Structure 1
């Protein structure tokens, strides 16, 4: 045997089962079913630049390859992780050569396109504009945040979804029956084992096939892949979460909105989902403190204290003991009376502070610790509230002279804020009737 002869490297199962035509492609029926826009474009040969946005393992790369095959276009691919402007220029040159020599269009598939910076994304624009390239980008991140508006305006965004149970069953069936898969080994996968595999895959077809291939290495030909085999292989695997990614913000948003909507069960579910995905419980504890002020506020001031205590418990005990305290705080917030009055009032005050600039503090509200300040009128005519009836200086004005008094804080008729609302209404009446009212 030649010492320098290379042994061919076996392709992973997922690569061997990559769909060779649209009939083999699984999932994304909302895009590829008869009459759907992408299917129509394919059948009519009306290719256009596009962005595939979806989670890992749902067929973005495979679909791009099939588009090239169906439309008889040359296919070039680069990865934004490993490439730069140099690779983009090389791909453009290849596209120009194929157009000149063979009259073929070129599809340039850019994997993880969100990894390119603004200038790198701009490098595609002239060639997409003049038709040199049909650009297809794949991303797991929200294109609205990660891609330039100029690139987005020249490409149509297609949302790819996680593979459902039916699609994953088709993949398993193909893997166990076809010769290019595991068909020659005559393996069986009982329903119990499939359900374990289904849960672990979490909608990711590539992950499903990788796990199936790894499990098949642990059994003999003709045997069944037992549930115990899969459980030992999987260990403590986590669901898709991707801290900092789209799933991360979607799930914290769902938790927050469940609290706001007074759904303790929904809030607990999303809390559990985030923990199951590997999220740091301290991050959630910090966000829960924010929710206490934003969603409950003075309708139940105890909520903020309870959430701070839960954060402290999480820091002191760690996981999993501390997570119960955070769960308690989440349930309390969901069940508490809701008020965003402080949140909205604070936003309004911040807006006006920025809008009106550096208005002077009225003299009567200034402190006068020195003789000169007193001579200049600092603190003059200030009324000490504790010396007034009911400790309230009726008619007093606490705004800059050029700014009419405002009402930023509008308590809601729920919880403790119902009493606060009644009190402020009473004080406003005293202000209106006060003979010492500053502004008329």
Structure 2
């Protein structure tokens, strides 16, 4: 593969690797004895999904895999391909070639169910080899039927050292850059802004070179120049992609782990990235019940108040309310006893359909009362401490326990009160 580039072809395109050996990064997939390398060495290429962030080589790897096994390559983008165009590509081979073509679909997660289903037959029959690329977790964005027919490989963002290698290669091998005296002093800053994205790093380098003072004998690319051309270090955050789930998960786990600083950091990352404040507040309401519960019942009240306040006030002031509540929740006593209890009750309810005992039924008519509805029910308020021990479960489930008091002060206090009630009732018999 020896592409011909126009003079105005972007640097990132000019530096696209032309062989698998030239790819920087992804050694866990492409090194000797790594999964994709073994497939190529065996001249075998099944349908696969390449999952990873933008700018780390999904499209390039797909092209080079097809080239390495000698297959025709068709590239489609889910952004502008409908079912009709997709079927035209799928039918284009018509059995004329013994080698099934590789159909590459960029951003396959944007295909709807009908478009993904259109691929199933051709993938199942082997008429095509599908390579899908997605920035989102395939478990959530690709149909299970299609996912089961593909191997999924995760690509990793490039490290600082790998970004440095990409920049060095561009300066020494690009036909345009190597002819100019360039001193790169902002390597670390470019890597920081790129967030593991080789394409973004090359774009920043190219823009800095184009912006530098052409009257100077040497083009100096320093942090100040890169900062000016970048304008701002855009936060790498996809509100609709996997990072949306990863960061809210990190925030929740930080609160659950009683680390207010980490919880604030992940929440700030989401807010700076444009995550709606009310989404974060709703997650904190759930957390207050799931992870704190009766260890501190005020946590749920505060989280619910924060949600209503955030919805009425909005950003940027909503950040203050969220900051308060996330610190309160992170530093609160924790308990998941009620969370486990309702899960256990739900699990049993799905399997058990025992009738309500007659004494717990409401005998609102004479006929119902004659049939025993409400008979032998004891009204607890008529007894000392408003308590009378009686069975409230179906008879076959009598004695079943779902809730266990956790070892925090509030729940232990409730446990002691319940034990006292039972002791008092026993002594009054």
- Match of 2:18? 20
CA–CA separation in structure 2 for the residues paired with 1:416 and 1:225: 61
1:55 aligns with 2:50: no
Contact 1:413 1:421 in 2 (8 A): no
1:389 aligns with 2:381: no
Give the deviation of 1:159 after TM superposition: 0.7
Give the deviation of 1:65 after TM superposition: 0.9
- Match of 1:234? 230
- Match of 2:129? 134
- Match of 2:8? 10
- Match of 2:241? 245
CA–CA separation in structure 2 for the residues paired with 1:91 and 1:364: 66
Cα displacement string for residues 149-194 of structure 1 (whole angstroms, at most 9, x for unaligned residues): 333333211110111111211221222333345333433321xx33
What are the equivalent positions in structure 2 for 1:6-405 lying under 5 Å apart? 10-96=8-94, 99=97, 104-180=99-175, 182-190=177-185, 193-221=186-214, 222-315=218-311, 318-357=314-353, 359-360=355-356, 362=358, 366=362, 382-392=377-387, 394-399=388-393, 404=398
Give the deviation of 1:306 after TM superposition: 3.0
Q: Secondary structure at the residue paired with 2:220?
A: coil
Query: Unaligned regions of 5+ residues in structure 2, if any?
Result: 1-5
Structure 1 residues 281, 199: CA separation in 2 closer, same or farther (over 3 Å shift)? farther
Contact 1:412 1:421 in 2 (8 A): no
- Match of 1:4? none
CA–CA separation in structure 1 for the residues paired with 2:173 and 2:126: 40
Structure 1 residues 362, 80: CA separation in 2 closer, same or farther (over 3 Å shift)? same
CA–CA separation in structure 1 for the residues paired with 2:125 and 2:383: 78
User: Which of 403, 411, 417 is the equivalent residue of 1:409?
Assistant: 403
Give the deviation of 1:422 after TM superposition: 2.0
CA–CA separation in structure 1 for the residues paired with 2:100 and 2:361: 74
Structure 1 residues 161, 179: CA separation in 2 closer, same or farther (over 3 Å shift)? closer
CA–CA separation in structure 2 for the residues paired with 1:381 and 1:163: 72
Give the deviation of 1:295 after TM superposition: 0.4
* TM-score normalised to structure 1 length: 0.84
Give the deviation of 1:301 after TM superposition: 1.5
Q: Secondary structure at the residue paired with 2:392?
A: coil
Structure 1 residues 87, 317: CA separation in 2 closer, same or farther (over 3 Å shift)? closer
Contact 2:337 2:404 in 1 (8 A): yes
How many pairs does the alignment contain?
A: 421
